[in-house]
Amino acid sequence: MRTSPREAAQAAAVRDTAVRERDSAAGTAQRAAADLAAARRQAERETSAVQAACQAREEAARELAAAAIARAERAETALDAERTERRALTDRLTSVPAQARTRGRTAARLPA
d(CA 78, CA 32): 68
Residue-wise pLDDT for 16-38, tens only, equals 999 999 999 999 999 999 999 99
User: Cα(first)–Cα(last) distance of the chain, in Å?
Assistant: 161
What element of type H or E holds 83?
Answer: helix 5-109
For residue 108, pLDDT over 60 is answered with no
> For the chain, what is the largest distance between any 2 Cα atoms, rounded to a whole number of angstroms?
161
Q: 9 in helix, strand or coil?
A: helix
Section 39-52 average pLDDT: 98
In the predicted structure, residue 99 carries a pLDDT above the cut 60 = no
